[in-house]
Chains A and B, each alone.
Chain A
Amino acid sequence: MNFKILAVLAAFIFFTSCKKVFNVEHAGGKITTDQEWSTPDFIKGYVTNFYGILPAWNRDFDISAEAFGNGSGGATLNPFLNGTITSQGGYPDRVWDYASVRSINNFFANIEKAKSVLDESDYKSLNGQAYFFRAYLYYRMVKVFGGVPIITSVQDPTADMNTLLVKRNTSLECFDFITKQLDTAIDLLPTTWGSGDIGRITKGAAMAVKGEVLLLKASPLFCKNPNPSYWADAYNSLLAAKNELDADGYGLYTDNTMTTNQNMWYDKSGAAKEMVLYVRYHYPEKTNTFQQGQRPLTESSGLAGVCDPTWEMVKEYPMKNGMDINDPNSGYDSTEFWKNRDPRFYTDIVYNGARYDFADITPRVEWIFNGIGDIDGYKAFNLTGFYCRKEIDTTLGATSWSHQAFDWPIIRYAEVLLNLAEAANETGHSSDAKNLIIQIRQRAHIDEGNGNYGLDPLVGTDYQTTLNAIMKEREIEFAFEGKRFWDLRRRRMFGVLNNLRTLHAYGPYFNAAVASSKYSIDVTQTNSGIASQLSNILVNSPANFDRDAFLKDITTYVKQPIDNSASNEINIPESYYFAPIDPQYILQNKNLEQNIGWDNGTFNPVIQ
């Protein structure tokens, strides 16, 4: 009896569960190929994913001499600057993203069969975005390496290895490929998007990128010998981009005043018209915590000293009258270097004794005095004597800094103007170039003066003077936005960095004797006690009190190298204009030639 029951039971369990046991589900989130290409939302989601290709917060300020960024561990020159990087790492923004290339190629391999399920307008705009991102991705790669292999098919990794050992295309072939992709994208993309899609690529953005690509192609980086027709292409396409953007409602953000917290970094809706190509952020969904270490440590946590402006950068800012500080007529007083500077100086640079209010502590004075400034002080967590305030949201205090969420511009309208100015100057339209610079200076509230906004009288007539003015304007306008290094590289101007020899701090030290005798500061108090007395004087003295003189009196500035080591000399080798390909890729594929100057390389990325 028992046996029968057991046998029946056993047979039952056996036959019902044996097959079923393998019927397990995916752990979630998986879509089959058929589902993917028959569902419009999935296809749109596939293209949305391409937006991850856009770079954000690649600021590269430490290799452009703008700032020093070494955290709390010490102060060492970026190995790029002293020429000690290797082909295995250290070159900035070295994108070799063939995974995204494959992803986009896969879109083109499938989109035709999905045409029937998509609206005509969606079909067009999805294609337009895909073409744009394929172009943009190759542009990012070609920018650092020169020519790279152009791959437009979805390769089978199990295919005959020899068919996968691709060669590099020439830089020229790559530029042509990118331009063609962009032309297609420009035809397909809309000029504006609905409110739910703000932040997607517009026709104007694609045109601005095309202008930038052609500017790069014509630039001295790729053309050691100028090619007038390349410059003409760049000029024409940038002019077309500007006209399209103007027509589509883009323009300069004009409410920029010198008051902190009232500039385009905070006025998100006002600044929208200047955002041509950008990455959107929003609290709480997507925040940017990149400035954690840029804030003074008392208004941050865990990290500090990662973006402290160098003395070299601080000196670059013109005066309020637009003149360079080296100009004898500029009115620059080196003992009160913070006085009467370009308004952009005050939104970018925090100097010792500057007001730096935060939501949780107001009024607040930033004391960077060595010793007195405590953990925020020079040589405690501060490396240079300065803090950078650009892109810092001071409405957020020490407990909420991580909520910061403004949009990160990749191309601002201002850059389109200065790109156009550069191309104009190269094609004999120097006076147009001057007008474009003046638009930027006007917006920055530089004094109009005689109508030149402090520009050298030769700007607009002399090619080299105009070029210098453009580069300077780019340096100041886009300071700490990740442009300076790439501008110097594009113009083959690493010599500017090499001539600096090394980077310096301008460290503020407290002059206790004067503070005590002249301002009755009780200097026997503890550091924080002294700091609190000093703040009181700055904040509460009557309006006619000469605060600049006060700061000057109590401070002794010491200029000293930030990096004290024997290897602190800036010495960027000629070969660094182009990035080396990571040798691991060459070990895989002997057909990939290395760039000249790296690991016995033979590939020449220069067009002419």
Chain B
Amino acid sequence: MKKSKLLQLVFMLLAILLFNTSGIAQRKISGVIEDAKTNMPLEGATISVKNSKISAISKADGQFQIDVPAGNVTLNVSFVGYRTEKMPITENENIVIRLQPDSVGLNEVVVVGYGTQKKENLTGAVGVIHSSSLSDRPTSSPANLLQGLSPGLTVTTQGSYPGASANIKIREASTWQGGSDPLYVIDGFVRDAAAFASINPADIDNISILKDAASAAIYGIRGGNGVVLVTTKQGRGGSASISYNASYTLNTREIIPRKMNAYDNYVFTNNANLQLVPATDPSIYTPDELDYFKTHSNDWVNDTWRNPWNTSHNLSASGGSKVARYYISGGYLHQEGATSNSFDKYNFMAKLGGNITDRVSYNLIINGEWGNGDRPFWAYDGGDFNLSNMYNRLIMVDPGRPSFINGLPVGNGDNTNTANLAKGNGGYTRPTNNYISPSFELKYEIPGIKGLSAKGSFAYNTSNNYTKAWRNAPYIYYFKTTGTHNHIITDQLDSARSGGYKILDQAQIAGVGAPTQLNESYSQLSNYQLDLMLNYENSFGKHNISAFGGYEQSASKGHFSNIWDNNYSNPNYQQLNGGSPNSTDWRIQGDQYQPTGFASYLGRIDYNYASKYLFGVTFREDGSYVFPSNKRWGFFPSISAGWNIAKESFFSRYNKFLDFLKLRVSYGITGTDNTAPWQWQQTYNFNANSNVYLGSSLYPSTSLGSTINPSITWERNHNYDLGLDFATPNRLISGIVDYWYKKTTNILGARNASVPSTVGASLPAVNYGIASAKGLELSLSHENHIGELFYSVSANWAISSNEYLRVDQAASVRDYQNLIGKPVNGVIYGYVSEGIIRTQEDINNILQKNGDSYTIFGSKPQLGMLNYKDIRGPLGTDSPDGKIDNNDQVPISLNGVPRVNYGFNLTIGWKGINVTSIFAGLAKYDIMPTDVYYRRPLPYGNDNLLIWKNAWTPQTAATATMPSAIMNDWKSISNSQMSSSFWLKNGAFLRLKSLTVDYNIPGTILQKVSIKSIRVYFTGENLFEWNHTKDWDPELGGDFRTYPILKGFTFGLNATF
């Protein structure tokens, strides 16, 4: 590499010398074309001389040579996906031309289902995200990176840990069946969200978001929720290029709930308790105790928390010849979590492709991942790495309780010590998972017909998961208590305690009854996809046509087993055969996955006339194993058209204002088979364990399965999209507007609400429901160059809604429960709050208005309660009935899910320094906080948020902002803890999702050390959030105890050789 570079340089210098001496009125210019952002050489860029027909193409290493006339000339350099550069040439020189990526490049090739299209010719609504928007941001999973980048793409993060993918939703669903997960297609292979989450972000070249039917209907069966198409990086051929990326990230908590300290907490609980019991009651904190707690307050999260950090390294190489282009990459991620947990992930990808003969080309991809986790054993962890339930337990602890005294875990008060378990003293869970996914593709250009080719591909994936979990019950210790009411825990062990001062941690025993347990589970899943395609692409004058047709088939199967053994005589020997031989101590479980099978015929025809009039037709005939053979096949067509108005001659006079204006319209049908298989076949269930013990064994039993629906078939999702794309010359302003409407018919669901209960049947799904959704999406961007300064601003905004049009309901459903016309998701039911009952006068007024027998959930109105609006009575009474009970609920918000998502990005670049920021937000969003944690402080001091300091007491009657702390379960009544408009919070927020500063070290310096480029960057992730909810992050819902989204600081380096 070094040598060839040197030779080229010498050659160029020679060439320049030659030109100078030749005296001919022509000269050779040579140089390199690079990506301005990554400094990677660009192959295939067109270099042309202005006002002439001379042109050249850059080679694999970005080098070019061109003969130009003498004198001052200007070179035009254009390349798909980049802004065209104009470079005046004054002297003979070896020039470096750096192209800026163009976000709306019309010549850009966009990856669409089963192929590519020029952006100019697109008729569907496709969002494109380039790797440049994804790189530099630390994450183990690409889903987290998509937030704020595309309108109509709602991304909600589930926590900051590897493997925990963000939830992605493309537009709003017009069905209530199944999830809103889009379909993920990675390099043409249909995969799931987990596979997408585990892909190495450094390997991604671009992501296309297929939003409407014109683009997604080609995936018929599973295109109903939209499609995320991921294309990984390809080998470029030519001389080898090696690139290395490294980053280190440190995380901290972004939003910390404001809890009371021990002193405030006990003053608060005293104020509440004294409304119920005398001061002599042992639950009351006495002055000596309160005095002690002024200086002694604990926070179990702080006792165990360490700031998580992670580091990642990626090495990739690409290059090769015409016969074998290669891209190989390896990635390594190490993450240390907030408790004693860690995670390692290794990714590799090898791609080999090329032409075997002039007509035959091939592509081989092998993609794999290994992941190893290690976390403390936690009985309720639900398989999550960051132990959010453990975090939840740690954050709720009463601040008066210490976690450790002299290094010993404290047992007082709870029989268990979560902090001790968080430190890994109660065993471990060690999941390992890996997958390998090879695929092979062969393409043949058929002789005789120009543009006709055949392609066959086969992709296979197998994944294995093995988890070893060791649980042991550590000792916890009881300490003597002191203080008038024994509320203070001393540092003296309580040796007089019945049963001893140390006991086994009870939470570790619960449900097992044994102090040790080893649990091993194993699962194996595999699936394949076979594609056979015929492609045709040709132009006849101004008529351009491309088409393909083919067959696809896929299937999956899997296996799962689980085994455990209790009571290990030697707890250091943690292998299955070390456990108790007693059959009552071990158990084997297994499960057979439902295998699947699908087959499809599909095709597409795209036609355009001079890129002015565009037409597209797709179809897919899908067969699913879920349905009976006569209802198995579904036909999912789409049709779309586009009109590039700016190309019309009548528009030419406006071209100086608007050089691109395209109108798009599309309609199509997608389908969903989102229901259980076999609902068309009468079956009985075999229950190996009937739970009926007779004689001396559990008898096996059989039971009647569901009634059947012999004509069960596809849900049909009708999609309409109307779009407008526009841009001004030089992309000073460009934008996209889409209006879409979806209507899903044949929605599958059991008619449990309307079929009388006395039928007693377990009902099958029937194609009955209808729902619709609609939305508007806007994106607007502005970019400009001022000398060396480049900047761009882009914003996107989307609003959507959906509603039930037909749904199974009881024949005489009451009006307020009628779903028709209501949103399919996000309806929050609750009571209409009439505020805090502050004074006796308030009570008198309430009784006067509602009658003397008025009750609120069975209680007479009392001071400090919340009062609610009496709306109706039980069945048959539709007017106020003088009592508040569950008949008085109404939908208090229709926006329980965010209806608006938006984001904006700012980029400024100057001489190799780039600053990029991404803001993302959700709006038109209401949250009902979860009841036990926020609406209801508990008498034992756990969980109390600072906001409760201003609760109603007789002293604060006039100014209280919260109801009395005891008007709930504390006082054994139902009142304040009910879902009501009192608690409804605005969940809208705007988050500074990321801020990146990077610097490209100038190539002139690097060339001396044979390095093509070096970039260093700093990224701040989740730096700030503007919200209405101080104590928790609305992105995570309404529970302040949810494991937080972390703030991250990353330093990273990219180098290319």
Taking beta carbons and an 8 Å cutoff, which residues of A are in contact with B? 2-3, 6-7, 9-10, 13-14, 17-18, 21-33, 35-36, 41-42, 45-46, 48-49, 51-52, 70, 73-77, 79, 82-84, 86-88, 96-103, 106, 149, 151, 155-158, 161, 164-166, 194-200, 280-286, 297-298, 301-302, 360-361, 364, 367, 370-371, 374-375, 379, 398-403, 525-529, 531-532, 535, 563-567, 583-590, 592, 594, 598-600
Q: Give chain B interface residues in 758-817, CB to chain A under 8 Å.
A: 758-763, 810-814
Query: What would 14 more interface pairs be, CB under 8 Å, given A197-B695, A532-B496, A587-B875?
Result: A3-B446, A24-B597, A31-B686, A33-B683, A79-B858, A87-B875, A164-B756, A199-B693, A361-B499, A399-B515, A528-B494, A566-B862, A567-B973, A584-B757
Question: What's the least CB distance linking B694 to chain A, in Å?
Answer: 4
B756's partner among A70, A165, A285 (CB-CB below 8 A) is: A165
In the bound complex, what is the Cα–Cα distance between A158 and B707 (angstroms)? 10
Q: Could you write out 18 A-B pairs with CB less than 8 Å apart?
A: A2-B360, A6-B442, A22-B632, A27-B595, A42-B686, A48-B694, A70-B972, A83-B858, A86-B885, A103-B760, A157-B759, A165-B756, A379-B283, A527-B481, A564-B276, A564-B972, A566-B859, A587-B813
* Contact of B543 with A by CB under 8 A: no
CA A273 – CA B399 in complex, angstroms? Answer: 56
Smallest CB–CB gap between A197 and chain B, Å? 5
Question: Contacts A586-B875, A600-B877 given: A18-B599 contact, CB under 8 Å?
Answer: yes
* Stretch in B234-242, B297-305, B502-510 with 4+ CB within 8 Å of A: B502-510
Closest residue of B by beta carbon distance from A51? B692
A2 touches B444 (CB 8 A): yes
Interface residue? B511 (CB, 8 A): yes
Q: In whole Å, how far is B221's beta carbon from the nearest beta carbon of chain A? A: 13
Residues on A with C-beta less than 8 A from B11 are none
Most A-side CB within 10 Å, residue of B496, B595, B813:
B496
With a cutoff of 8 Å between Cβ atoms, the chain B residues found around residue A17 in the complex are: 530, 553
Q: Assess the A526–B701 pair: CB atoms within 8 A.
A: no
A36-B702, A42-B684, A301-B506 known; A195 vs B625 contact (CB < 8 Å): no
- B972's partner among A3, A74, A374, A529 (CB-CB below 8 A) is A74
For B756, the chain A residues whose CB sits under 8 A away are 164-166, 585, 588-589, 592
Q: How far is the CA of A302 from the CA of B393 in the complex (A)?
A: 14
Chain B residue numbers with a CB within 8 Å of A24 are: 555, 594-597, 625, 677
The distance from the CB of B92 to the nearest CB of chain A, in whole angstroms, is 48
Of B276, B684, B695, B972, the residue contacting A36 (CB under 8 A) is: B684
Q: Across the interface, do B499 and A197 meet the contact criterion of CB distance under 8 Å?
A: no
Q: Scoring B residues 749 to 760 as 1 if CB is less than 8 Å from chain A, else 0, what string do you get?
A: 001011111111
* B360 near A74: Cβ-Cβ < 8 Å: no
Is B704 located at the chain interface by the 8 A CB criterion?
yes
- Bound Cα distance A106, B485 (Å): 64
- Taking a contact as CB atoms under 8 Å apart, the answer to whether B758 and A99 are in contact is no
Contact A285 B684 (CB under 8 A): no
Q: How far is the CA of A23 from the CA of B625 in the complex (A)?
A: 8
A400 to B707 CA separation, bound complex (whole angstroms)? 42
Q: How far is the CA of A242 from the CA of B2 in the complex (A)?
A: 105
Q: Does B697 contact A (CB under 8 A)?
A: yes
Residues of A within 8 A of B858 (CB): 79, 82-84, 567
Is the CB of B593 closer than 8 A to any CB of chain A? yes
Whether B456 and A6, one on each chain, are in contact in the complex, defined by CB atoms closer than 8 angstroms, is yes
Known: A52-B691, A285-B698. A588 touches B757 (CB 8 A): yes
Please measure, in the bound complex, the distance between the C-alpha atom of A285 and the C-alpha atom of B506, giving whole angstroms: 23
Residues of A within 8 A of B276 (CB): 564
How many chain B residues have a CB neighbour from A under 8 Å?
118
Contacts of B623 in A (CB 8 A): 21-22
> Is there contact, CB below 8 Å, between A164 and B759?
yes
**Interface readout for B513-556 with A: 1 if CB under 8 Å, 0 if not?**
11100000000000000101000000000000000000101110
Q: Are B596 and A51 in contact (CB under 8 A)?
A: no
Closest to B485 in A: A371
Inter-subunit contact A599/B755 (CB<8 Å): no
Distance in angstroms between the alpha carbons of A567 and B861 in the assembled complex: 11
Tell me if B685 and A30 are in contact (CB < 8 A).
Answer: yes
CA A298 – CA B482 in complex, angstroms? 21
| Contact present for B698 and A286 (CB under 8 Å) | yes
Beta-carbon contact of B513 and A525 below 8 Å: no
Contact B939 A74 (CB under 8 A): yes
Q: Are A33 and B682 in contact (CB under 8 A)?
A: yes
Q: Within 8 Å CB of A87, what residues of B?
A: 874-875
A-facing residues in B606-626 (Cβ within 8 Å): 623, 625
Cα A165 to Cα B754 with chains together (Å): 11
Given A29-B686, A31-B685, A86-B885, do A14 and B973 touch, yes or no (CB 8 Å)?
Answer: no
- Going nearest first, the 3 A-B pairs with the smallest beta carbon separation are A76-B972, A84-B858, A98-B760
* Pair A587/B810 contact, Cβ less than 8 Å: yes
- Taking CB as reference atom, which chain B residue is nearest A282? B693
Query: Which among B447, B496, B592, B595 is the interface contact of A531 at CB below 8 angstroms?
Result: B496
B35 to chain A, nearest CB (A): 36
CA distance A599 to B874 in the complex (A): 6
> What residue of chain B has the Cβ atom nearest to residue A568's Cβ?
B972
- Report Cα–Cα, A375/B698, bound state, in Å: 38
Measured between alpha carbons, how far is A548 from B855 in the docked complex, in Å? 47
Closest to B458 in A: A13
Q: A401 touching B513 by the CB < 8 A rule?
A: yes
Interface residues of B in 851-910 (CB under 8 A from A): 855, 857-860, 862, 874-877, 885-887
Considering the chains assembled together, what is the distance between the CA atoms of A564 and B478 in angstroms?
32
Q: Are A526 and B702 in contact (CB under 8 A)?
A: no
Within 8 A of A (CB), among B463-508: 478, 480-482, 485-486, 494, 496-499, 503-504, 506-507
Decide: A46 and B511 in contact? CB cutoff 8 A.
Answer: no
Residue pair A26, B683 in contact (C-beta under 8 Å): yes
Q: Are A200 and B694 in contact (CB under 8 A)?
A: yes
Cβ A371 vs Cβ B282 within 8 A: yes
Q: Does the CB pair A527–B971 fall under 8 Å?
A: no
Chain B residues closer than 8 Å to A563, beta-carbon distance: 972
Bound Cα distance A599, B972 (Å): 26
A280 to B691, CA, bound (A): 10
Which residues on the B side are within 8 Å of A379 (C-beta)? 282-283
Bound Cα distance A195, B695 (Å): 6
Q: How far is the CA of A102 from the CA of B513 in the complex (A)?
A: 39
CB-based contact B597/A32 at 8 Å: no
> Which residues of chain B are near A398, meaning CB under 8 Å?
499, 503, 506, 509
- Complex interface: chain B residues within 8 A of A164 (CB): 755-756, 758-759
A156 to B763 Cα, complex, angstroms? 10
Determine the residue in chain B with the shortest Cβ distance to A19: B599
Instruction: Known contacts A22-B597, A164-B755, A565-B972; decide if A32 and B683 are in contact (CB<8 Å).
Output: yes
Q: Is the CB of B763 within 8 A of A157?
A: yes
Kindly list chain A residues whose C-beta atoms are within 8 Å of the C-beta of B753.
Answer: 584, 588
Contact assessment for B599 and A22 in the assembled complex, using a CB-CB cutoff below 8 Å: yes
Please indicate the chain A residues that have their CB under 8 angstroms from the CB of B307 in the complex.
none
Nearest opposing residue in chain B for A36, CB measure: B684
Q: Which residues does chain B contribute within 8 Å of A370, judged by CB atoms?
A: 282
Contact B697 A28 (CB under 8 A): no
Contact of A3 among B444, B594, B702, B973 (CB under 8 A): B444
User: In the complex, what distance in Å separates the CA atom of A281 from the CA atom of B684?
Assistant: 26
Binary CB contact string for chain B from 568 to 604 against chain A (1 if under 8 A, 0 otherwise): 0000000000000001100000001111111100000
CA distance A13 to B528 in the complex (A): 13
**B681 cross-chain contacts in A, Cβ below 8 A:** 32
For A301, give its contact among B507, B677, B697 (CB under 8 Å): B507
Bound together, the chains give a CA A297 to CA B482 distance in angstroms of: 22
A13-B530, A587-B813 are contacts. A198–B678 as well, Cβ < 8 Å?
A: no
Q: Which residues of B contact A32 (CB under 8 A)?
A: 681-684
